Structure 1
Amino acid sequence: MTGKDVHALEEATGLLPHGTRVNVTYLGNEDLAMRVTAARAVLQHAFTPVPHISARRLPSAPALEAYLSALAEAGAAEEVCVVGGDPAEPAGPYEDALAVIRGGLLAKHGVRHVSVAAYPEGHPRISDRLLWRALEDKHRVLGQQGVGMTAITQFGFDPAPVLDWLEQARDRGIDCPVRVGVPGPAGVKRLLRYARRFGVTSSAGVAQKYGFSLANLLGTAGPGRFVRALADRLDPARHGEVLLHFYPFGGLRATALWVRDSQSAVTP
């Protein structure tokens, strides 16, 4: 959710079990008060807030400390998600998520678990070699700090690259939980727009397997086929602990309804 989605979160209350993790984004057009208010709202509805920290949007270390202190005061600092962020040039001293993690301020302010980004289909501007090195470094540094880690993957329409990536991650010693990114039910046009933005494969064959046609952009599509195919092929011995992370492109309530109605296929 964003800082503007507090009302939408209220509409989803009652559809999801208490303790559900809700990520709170770190957008450039929102301020500290909006982000902290959103995190408080997550707590007030008996969910677990996971506030984002966007490294390249941070103007200074004191600004990061102010944000972490405000989250701690709200009781929402125990789990955060640290991402690099969209700006081409950093606004301050943090080039990427690893720089924030290495700085040591997270644990100092009560952070006990950090989610980081992962890209089974690669990143449009970062090589696979650098992506793997960054993930391995984050895993190592957080372990040294005594802070837990979860990898949250970019969403996709095809489980095959996700499963391949999971095997590679485990072979590289990355043994943390992985939450596989899943788009909530949304319009086909919107899904394709996000896919183009983030470099997600959306060929005709992949789209058909996922459950929509590139010839019909007016329809909607849900993640049912993707989740079933992923679950059928998961092997805990090879893939480790795997959960789901929903991107609510079609809205929080629509995603919450899908999860509630699909509990036979989804493990919370």
Structure 2
Amino acid sequence: WIAMYQGEAGIDQALLLAGGVTTPHGDYHSAMQLLESGAFGDSGFKRLHVAGHPEGNKDIDPDGAMINVDSALRWKQAFSETSDAEMAIVTQFCFEAQPVIAWANELVANGITLPIHIGVAGPAKLQTLIKFSIACGVGASLRVLQRRAKNLTKLLLPFTPDFFLAELAAHKAENPQFTISHVHFFPLGGIKTNAKWAIKNGGSSAIPVSQS
């Protein structure tokens, strides 16, 4: 099916996620196995994205540590150095900039220099974001939403990622080598709403990565 997507639809990039199921559906139980199979290289894929977890992942590290997720990223970093495809890390959506900055810097300190496409929740009602955050295991930065929820005047207003992205952009401007290079939107409030917000606030930066 990988070759079919590439050959018939012209798809040349993929996001590889193992998922959170207890029992694998198929022959592979990890993105690393799929990468190692050579299927994407044989099909001519030019860009491959792998998962990053700034706040950890309880499916991978049930104790809340980062041992297994960091080990997987080190493996993927090594794989990227032998692959013809460009590779990048795409993260779960986050709401708080400073922990993300610290996480990205720690990756570099550990030799993981793949560019990062930071996950960002697009404009949506606060209740919607809280629901998805709990379902997706976004833990630490959920407190940003909880603080806002205490203000009843803001409870029904759309939550937008302005402040989060402004902090990251300011850090990037001061530190050009910072490895976060793109934004990966989760359009939890709808694709049209997200696209309009991105174009209005991102200007020329609101360009899909496939066109950059």
Matches within 5 A, 1:204-215: 204=143, 206-207=144-145, 212-215=148-151
State the partner residue of 1:91: 25
* Structure 1 residues 133-170: Cα deviation after superposition (integer angstroms, max 9, x where no partner): 10111121232132221101111110111101110111
State the partner residue of 1:247: 186
Superposition RMSD in Å: 2.1
- Aligned-partner residue type, residue 118 of structure 2: V
State the partner residue of 2:45: 111
| Separation (CA, whole Å) in 1 of partners of 2:82 and 2:59 | 29
* Structure 1 residues 77-124: Cα deviation after superposition (integer angstroms, max 9, x where no partner): 311111102321102220111110011111001112100110111112
- Aligned-partner residue type, residue 252 of structure 1: I
Say which SS state the counterpart of residue 114 (structure 1) adopts: strand
State the partner residue of 2:202: 263
How many residue pairs were aligned? 199
Say which SS state the counterpart of residue 162 (structure 1) adopts: helix
Structure 2 runs not aligned, ≥5 long: 208-212
State the partner residue of 2:99: 161
State the partner residue of 1:224: 162
Aligned pair in 2 of structure 1 residues 120, 261: CA closer, same or farther (>3 Å)?
same
TM-score between both structures, scaled by the size of structure 1 = 0.68
| Separation (CA, whole Å) in 1 of partners of 2:10 and 2:33 | 22
- Aligned-partner residue type, residue 239 of structure 1: F
| Separation (CA, whole Å) in 1 of partners of 2:168 and 2:87 | 22
- Aligned-partner residue type, residue 38 of structure 2: G
State the partner residue of 1:188: 126
TM-score between both structures, scaled by the size of structure 2 = 0.85
Identity of aligned residues (%): 26
- Aligned-partner residue type, residue 231 of structure 1: A
State the partner residue of 1:121: 55
* Aligned partners of 1:183 and 1:249 also within 8 Å: yes
Structure 1 runs not aligned, ≥5 long: 1-66
1:176 is aligned, of 114, 118, 126, to 114
